[in-house]
Structure 1
Amino acid sequence: MATTGLTGSTKTDLARVTETLEMIAPRWSAWVLMTLKAQPLRYTEVKQALPWLHDGQLHPRLSKLCDSGLVERNRYSSQHVTYGLTSRGTALIPVLRALRVWGDTYLEPGAFDPDGFTAHQQQVEDALVLLTPRHTTAILWALRVRDTASAKAVAAEAMPDYPLSAVYPPLDRLAADGLIEKEENTFTLSASGSGLAPVYTQLSAWAAGRPIAEARHHPVWAPAPGPAQYEGSSFATTRPEPATARRPAPSAPAARAQPVTWRSGEMFSDRIPARPVPTAAGPRR
């Protein structure tokens, strides 16, 4: 990541958060992590739980997550290999929950795809798509620090190694996505941009190896504004059930617990009560 004008520990913190987002952003990574949340599984069992992924998609994703230290591969014999979350992978689950809560609160309802892509998983995927383009996090952090800033000031803080003209495309994209607001040549965080506080604070704590409970003391993003808080948030939207039910996974071997098979609303163990849908339009998908 390019150096930024943000100073001291904030710069290091930002680099860690950006690296973490890049680690979990590739499509289906969050699905794999949630599938392994309950227990280690054999490759065939992971494939049964995510039947729409071909070997050419699933195997590279598992390998990448192993390389990242989020998943571990245990080989007991040539015929018995399992994949399970490491302690770091397990500690990342609350971060995925924070992404889901933010998506439920601020993203517009989206269509379900034919494979039964359910609401909560889709929210996590869409949130990552919005947050992972280059310079996004640096710009959002710069606006969080400065409150209101010109394009020149944002560029100096978030993209000091680039010409001023380079800051306009990401600013325009963030404004189109609804994460920032533009008035003439000044920019500020929108409600949905400010609502990312729980996501960024928990990402920061995880990336630094600190307990998630310390997230609320983040020097830039705490105290978290807006309705979305940490675990136990009561904010979610009531979503329609998918028009096409998810294909059931084949039965697991009798000797093992049946692998997780995702259904609508089952991405996380906690039940989310209904809330009114926000009146203001959220970021585009």
Structure 2
Amino acid sequence: MSTTPVPRTTLADLERVAESLEMISTRWRVWVLMTLSEKPLRYTEIKSKLPWLHDGSLAPKLRKLSESGLVERTDYEARHVTYGLTARGTELMPVLKVIAAWGDACLVKDTVLNPLTGRREPERIASAQNVEDALLLLTPRHTTAILWTLRMRGVTSIAALESVVMPSHALNAIYPPLRRLVKDGLVEKDEEHCVQLSATGLALAPVYRSVSAWAAGHPLSRAGTHPVWGDPTPPSQTGPGTRASTQAGIPASAPPGVRAPAVPARAPKAAWQSGDLFSASIPARPAVFSPAGGQRR
């Protein structure tokens, strides 16, 4: 199977998207951004809305978000400081809504008893948590590169996929991230060792094209014309509807609708470097233990 080189413009676009997802994936950053989405708030006001974040966690997050150009600090007078979204932070809010919508529609949910109906219904998850759960799936190293390559190529042999995504590695290097994506329900593998995006993976199109538009400084109205993830969906890629699964640890003091811890915290990842996207080695990942009854988000 031929391995047509990936265009330079696509590589640059892919790298911007991966870096953007990585920037907001750090735990609780999305919660802080969404808390500031309506109006600037004083530190104590933010803290009251996110009571499970103590000073040692909240202050560094505000500082990092300021350094990333998403949050701005305004000093009015002594001891009167507010934090609000910058223009770039405000432009990110519609993108977060798209990610949250994908998470709400495509990620596995626990069922809980509805006291009004007496029936078990899917758990209602806060929008910020849907975004964090989605990012937990999309930010591990090589994930975006693999998903984009499968979007461009359709049904692909594992060898051909490896030659595009990880050309300087041995064939077996592609298997750990690929197995995870199959387990998470974003990729399907057949008996002939060919892989393709699942229906859930294809449903990521609005997520990736909106992030791409934001990362490039373009209006979201242009997202539908994305060269890789724009409409229409390639006709060769079909499959049964599935739901992706992931796990996210939440402290016991989290607000209503946020789950208690299920897995260890994610290990920190190395910063992105230019050229890493298709050639970086795969870092070790923390062990994840599935609770009884299978994986949870």
Number of equivalences: 230
Find the counterpart in structure 2 of residue 219 from structure 1: 227
1:36-51 equivalent positions in 2, closer than 5 A = 36-51=36-51
Contact in 2 for aligned 1:178/1:284 (Cα 8 Å): no
Shift, 1:163, TM fit: 2.5
| Residues 82 and 196 (structure 1), Cα distance of their counterparts in 2 relative to 1, 3 Å cut | same
Choose from 162, 180, 190 the match for 2:198.
190
Contact in 1 for aligned 2:72/2:84 (Cα 8 Å): yes
Give me the identity figure in percent: 55
Find the counterpart in structure 2 of residue 161 from structure 1: 168
Is 1:132 the equivalent of 2:123? no
Contact in 2 for aligned 1:181/1:190 (Cα 8 Å): yes
Contact in 2 for aligned 1:71/1:86 (Cα 8 Å): yes
Find the counterpart in structure 2 of residue 141 from structure 1: 148
| Residues 48 and 117 (structure 1), Cα distance of their counterparts in 2 relative to 1, 3 Å cut | farther
Structure 2 spans left out of the alignment, 5+ residues: 113-122, 235-251, 259-294
Structure 1 spans left out of the alignment, 5+ residues: 227-243, 248-262, 266-282
> Partner amino acid for 1:96?
L
| Residues 64 and 30 (structure 1), Cα distance of their counterparts in 2 relative to 1, 3 Å cut | same
Task: Give the aligned CA root-mean-square deviation in angstroms.
Answer: 2.6
> Partner amino acid for 1:183?
D
Query: Alignment partner of 2:98: what SS?
Result: helix
Find the counterpart in structure 2 of residue 72 from structure 1: 72
Query: Alignment partner of 2:20: what SS?
Result: helix
| Residues 163 and 7 (structure 1), Cα distance of their counterparts in 2 relative to 1, 3 Å cut | farther
Contact in 1 for aligned 2:96/2:131 (Cα 8 Å): yes
**Following superposition, which runs of at least 4 residues in structure 1 exceed 4 angstroms of deviation?**
244-247
Q: So what's the TM-score if we normalise by structure 1? A: 0.75
> Partner amino acid for 1:147?
G
Find the counterpart in structure 2 of residue 108 from structure 1: 108
Contact in 2 for aligned 1:195/1:225 (Cα 8 Å): no
| Residues 161 and 64 (structure 1), Cα distance of their counterparts in 2 relative to 1, 3 Å cut | farther
Shift, 1:224, TM fit: 5.5
Higher relative contact order structure (alpha carbons within 8 Å, sequence separation ≥ 6)? 1
CA–CA distance in 1 between the matches of 2:187 and 2:155?
A: 10
> Partner amino acid for 1:16?
R
Q: So what's the TM-score if we normalise by structure 2? A: 0.72
- Segment drifting more, 117-126 vs 143-152: 117-126
Is 1:58 the equivalent of 2:58? yes
